[in-house]
Amino acid sequence: MRISFPSGALWQHAGFMRLWAAQTVSSFGARITREGLALASVLTIDARPFQLGTLAALALGPSVIVGFFSGGYVDRSRKRAIMVAADLVRAAVLMTVPFAAWMHLLSMGQLYAVAALMGGASVLFDIADHAYLPHLIARGQLIEGNSKLAMTESLAEVGGPALAGILVQTLTAPFAIAINAATYLVSAAFLGTITAEEHPAEREKKRPTLLNDLKLGYETMSHNPLLRPLMVMSFLSPLFGGTFSALYVIFAIKTLGLSPALMGITVAVGGVGSLIGTAVSAPLVRRLGVGRTILLGFLVSAVSSIFVPAASGPLWLKVASLMTAQLVGDSMAVAAMIPAASLRQSIVPRSMLGRTAALMSVGAGTSAVAGALIGGTTGSLIGPRWALLAAVTGLIATPLTAFASPLWHLGDIPGEAPKSPDEGA
């Protein structure tokens, strides 16, 4: 299939525009939660590295549990209804944080529970969302659709962390999180107005099982030489990214001495990088091809992360180092993720999109939990800087595993999607 680059046709697609609006609202709110839970634990409860590692692990861990249960369920169900329900659950869970703070009952135990429940609902939403997009728009519009959705994430990364830092300083972290609860309600309202008809996968003749659903997802990914490298990278990268998620906040606040607002502004530079990534992704694909854009993008992104543990000297130089990592890392990661997501959605059978997304969630979640726990432990033993430096090495090695695969030589997205394993592929 010759790649269809963004043409602007989706501006006239009512269903996609409502999905895009829902994602825009919730993406901004999600940044407040992401920074807010960590800042609440550091500034309100004075959490230690191991506790931050546990918090990050609990936020990531549900992807393993939910992935086990949800893949086949998503494929056989109305995906939009699942997304609405996940939004409502997230809003209710988040509202417990400001309530507990108001009652002077907020504790690490509650933050652990909130992180776990939010992680579970978010993973279910993401699996359904990934499977829903090819039902909502045409196959040839996936590059354009994913580019627009990535642009929203980028804008949220620009404004969300900075807004989170400001809100935390003015309202305190727990009450800043209350704002995010409202964004999920707005997101659910937008999703509820989409009227496009949806066609779930037909029920299998044999009674489906959890292990069989995962097996089918694994076979779909592992039997395709183009998808197999993406699966391997999705399992390896979170192992080292989990260390970053566990230690970044405490490294920036405690080790480098940034204020919450300054840290938020620094992270927001990554959003600028993400915007650049959405703009350069299609030109890079045209020039380099799909496969090389994916692999080189992830490699350059990984190499740029060295600027985080290398940050030292006066405050301006520390901030400049973090901003460099955010700008280069996020721009190249997004430039790679857009064709990677479009490749998966184009060549995975529609009936298997939920199960393959669930498999990726299980593998990535398991690695991320391990990485967060390892990061918290090693951060306590050898310090956050050295733990982050070790993670950089792993991040760089991850895309190198795929350079000898057929993905490196892929120019265009292939033609029709193959049959799923349960259809006799």
> What mean pLDDT comes out for the span 40-61?
68
DSSP helix/strand/coil, 104: coil
For the chain, how many helices (H) and strands (E)? 14, 0
Say whether pLDDT at 350 is over 80. no
pLDDT in tens, 353-399: 778 877 887 788 788 778 878 887 888 788 888 889 888 999 999 99
Looking at the chain, the whole-number percentage of residues with pLDDT higher than 70 is 82
86-90, 225-229, 356-360, 394-398: range with lowest mean pLDDT? 356-360
Give the model's pLDDT for residue 158: 64
> What mean pLDDT comes out for the span 342-354?
81
Using a 10 angstrom Cβ sphere, with 0-12 exposed, 13-18 middle and 19 or more buried, the burial of residue 207 is exposed
Q: Compute the distance between CA of residue 171 and CA of residue 158 in angstroms, rounded to an integer.
A: 20
Q: Compute the distance between CA of residue 73 and CA of residue 187 in angstroms, rounded to an integer.
A: 22
Cβ 239 vs Cβ 394: under 8 Å: yes
φ, ψ of residue 8 in degrees (nearest 5): 95, 0
Give the model's pLDDT for residue 424: 45
Give the model's pLDDT for residue 88: 93
Cβ 177 vs Cβ 33: under 8 Å: yes
Confidence label for 5 from pLDDT (cuts 50, 70 and 90): very low
Task: Select 9-195+210-414's CATH number: 1.10.10.350, 3.20.20.70, 2.160.10.10, 1.20.1250.20.
Answer: 1.20.1250.20
Using a 10 angstrom Cβ sphere, with 0-12 exposed, 13-18 middle and 19 or more buried, the burial of residue 185 is middle
Give the angle 149-396-115 at the CA atoms, nearest 5°.
Answer: 55
Give the model's pLDDT for residue 327: 92
Cβ 375 vs Cβ 53: under 8 Å: yes
Confidence label for 303 from pLDDT (cuts 50, 70 and 90): very high
Give the model's pLDDT for residue 256: 87
pLDDT in tens, 151-175: 777 677 666 666 666 776 676 767 7
Residue 140 has what DSSP assignment? G
**Residue 211 or residue 306, greater confidence:** 306
> What mean pLDDT comes out for the span 12-25?
84
Say whether pLDDT at 135 is over 80. no
* Of residues 159, 7, 25, 37, the one with CA closest to residue 108: 37
Quickly list DSSP for 342-411. HHHHHHS-GGGHHHHHHHHHHHHHHHHHHHHHHHHHHHHHH-HHHHHHHHHHHHHHHHHTTTTSGGGG--
Give the model's pLDDT for residue 423: 47
Give the model's pLDDT for residue 203: 53
Q: Up-side HSE of residue 330: CA atoms within 13 Å toward CB?
A: 25
Looking at the chain, the whole-number percentage of residues with pLDDT higher than 90 is 13
pLDDT in tens, 280-298: 888 898 889 889 999 999 9
Chain centroid offset of residue 165 CA: 20
Confidence label for 204 from pLDDT (cuts 50, 70 and 90): low
Rounded to the nearest integer, the mean pLDDT of the chain is 79
